[in-house]
Structure 1
């Protein structure tokens, strides 16, 4: 597994994709298709597919993992919510902004309930939802969510943190299109 992550981190995505695919296959064979380790390997494989621009394949795989995690762990489990967020990312990469928006709304609502409104991951859901809204020219709500993410990250991790900078950049893009 370390080799797959190393390949991914070094930008050797084709190699990482093959390694994650083998890990997922071997895990399914040895532990079962619905074992948490198998689902984690499938998630890593799907994320790599998305990074390679194979977003439709990533969407299918993320959806499969989401369905199993929701059934096994429940709708509000952190792994389930991360699967839903990963699905939204794959949808965004394909230009399916309205579908991504629906997923991000569920992620945000669940993270607000389970983690609170200022948790880093909740703010990440705000940011994701803002990007999907901005892509649909829904600038009023997108601006409010981007501001919430930027202000929240400024307060918790500082204005120089990459998340804060990304949120401020998104906010500037939103304001430039109004």
Structure 2
């Protein structure tokens, strides 16, 4: 049942995953007990389903519960406990609780360096999480330094073409972009895209993310026609790979609408924004942040 819940989450079927996750949690709590490691895993999976639906307050509460119980049952330095620290940081981010998220990321990183070593992949993942917390608070220079350190370690440990290494190149590009270093960011986005196409294939989700990021860099440089072409490519591939109603596909619809709007193609942009809004209301509900973002985009276009 846990495996099916995870599978549904990966497919974007978050409402169905939530229902199954609640059922699994109740059964495991009854059969195994509330503090059994498998029960705690089910708490974490349910929290993930809630998080993906924008239910950040409830997700935070469950992640806190899982973390507290894992600290009690497994100890502060157990890998599952450290994973719960990182998981809790995510809903904190979404609610603007960046200081607490950063503190958790720093704690997890320190413990992982102690338990696993500075070059362990899980330690490097915590470095990425901390850099994300720093970016969220506008600490772009510190985030860039951490991104560069992470990238160097990943190139050493995993190799230059490993998917996780390519993710770090992408993150460094984001930190540069946020500082207005658009030319350097664009160069890194192109590098990531070329390597991901070679290593992962043109239809891999990470490759599609790189196309999206490159399009964003082009939009910021005023190259809207070139960005539009990449946005159309991304959308077509996501519809093929993920389906027309997947959340990532809806994000690509919104991006294409932005590129069209910037070129004065208002009728086409409006149609796409309406399409994204309708699909997001259906998939996420009217109060999800992505749905509200679509409402705002449509209002700005019309008025």
Tell me, which stretches of 5 or more residues in structure 1 are unaligned? none
Q: Does 1:134 align with 2:261?
A: yes
From 108, 119, 130, the equivalent of 1:3 is 130
What is residue 18 of structure 1 aligned with on the other side?
A: 145
Q: Does 1:77 align with 2:204?
A: yes
Q: Matches of residues 137-156 of structure 1 in structure 2 within 5 Å? A: 137-156=264-283
Aligned-partner Cα distance in 1 for 2:243–2:162: 29
* Aligned-partner SS, 1:116: coil
Q: Matches of residues 82-161 of structure 1 in structure 2 within 5 Å? A: 82-161=209-288
Aligned-partner Cα distance in 2 for 1:163–1:94: 25
4+ residue runs over 3 A deviation: none
Instruction: Report deviation, 1:110.
Output: 0.5
What is residue 300 of structure 2 aligned with on the other side?
A: 173
TM-score (norm 1): 0.93
Instruction: Report deviation, 1:125.
Output: 0.2
What is residue 102 of structure 2 aligned with on the other side?
A: none
Instruction: Report deviation, 1:32.
Output: 2.1
- Worse-superposed segment, 22-31 or 157-166: 22-31
Aligned length: 176
What is residue 173 of structure 2 aligned with on the other side?
A: 46
Aligned alpha-carbon RMSD (Å): 1.3
What is residue 62 of structure 1 aligned with on the other side?
A: 189
- Worse-superposed segment, 163-172 or 96-105: 163-172
Q: Greater RCO between the two (CA within 8 Å, min separation 6)?
A: 1
Which is greater in Rg?
Answer: 2
Instruction: Report deviation, 1:30.
Output: 3.4
What is residue 39 of structure 2 aligned with on the other side?
A: none
What is residue 79 of structure 2 aligned with on the other side?
A: none
Aligned-partner Cα distance in 2 for 1:30–1:117: 38
